[in-house]
A = this chain, B = another copy of it.
Amino acid sequence: MAKLGFLGLGIMGAPMARNLLTAGHSLHVWNRTADRSAPLAAAGAAVCGGPGEVCAAADITFVMLSDPVAVRAVHLGPGGACSGLGGGKGLVDMSTIDPATSREMAAAVRATGARYLEAPVSGSKKPAEDGTLVILAAGDRDLYDEAGAYLDLMGKLRVFLGEVGQGARMKLVVNMVMGGMMTAFGEGLALADRSGLDPSVLLDVLAAGALANPMFAGKGPAICADRFAPAFPLKHMQKDLRLALVLGDELGLGLPTAAAANAAFIRARDAGLADLDFSAVCRILRGERPGGNDPGGKGPAGN
């Protein structure tokens, strides 16, 4: 059995690490707040005092942190991951970070003699627990091949996309499609409601046809009930739409419906919905109607 490491035991990282451990692998772990390590320790993981210790002990270390700031601190800080890396080792960073940060981390890791793979995932808590994430890998191909068996414990699909940065790009593309589908869904629910059609019947109709998908099925009832407990916060979806639009701009692609969707998400963010689930954009798409509105009414004189 391989000697593996895992850095970052949050909502996503903890179940991912557990899936490695359950398969029988030796696992060294570290988390910034130590109490998150306890359940894994009870299950047999070795808890280390810092990221560098994990990397020193493991052949391949997996990382799942919340954002580029955390990634930079954990990899480059004193006692950080890079301090424990070296020839023959590998670091697989599954955090969602931008291509520039990813390239910077790749350079730092490779400077130690180790190999680097970016491997952001599509999917949230439940797929992390079930080992059914989708893994979007890019970087050192031989590390991808070596780590494949372990990635398969965490995900149901993995793809290798080429140079560092391409995993991050693929994730942006997927999230852009997700944002566009959500605004199409929200506009449909709003139009049904205004037309006197029960939105929950629309859910049934959509679920029975060619448009049926887990996102509509999972989030539809909550949207109809105006509940938006955050699985993926709206402000993060909006940020991804912005980054996708900027990427399109660089590459010469106008993305007119994504741009319209982004404007709606910005509006939602500005209206105080930033920390709710991204499906809260549906609340904005419903329109206002504060009372005095009389679309068919007679206006004052004018032409």
- The residues of A with any CB-CB pair to B shorter than 8 Å are 10-12, 66, 96, 121-125, 134, 136, 156-157, 159, 161-162, 166, 169-170, 172-174, 176-181, 183-185, 187-188, 190-192, 194-197, 201-202, 204-206, 208-215, 218, 230-233, 235-236, 238, 242, 244-267, 269-272, 274-275, 285-295, 297, 299-303
Contacts and interface: CB of A to CB of B under 8 A. Distances in A.
Given A187-B176, A195-B169, A206-B174, A302 B157 contact: no
B157 A204 contact: yes
A188 B301 CA distance: 27
A266 B249 contact: yes
B252 A287 contact: yes
Contact of A287 (B181, B196, B254): B254
Nearest to A125: B302
A168 B156 CA distance: 40
Given A184-B177, A263-B259, A190 B287 contact: no
A300 B230 contact: yes
B197 A177 contact: no
Given A195-B251, A254-B267, A294-B274, A233 B302 contact: yes
Given A194-B248, A204-B159, A287-B254, A303 B66 contact: yes
B255 A191 contact: yes
A209 B183 CA distance: 18
Given A210-B213, A275-B300, A287-B270, A244 B191 contact: yes
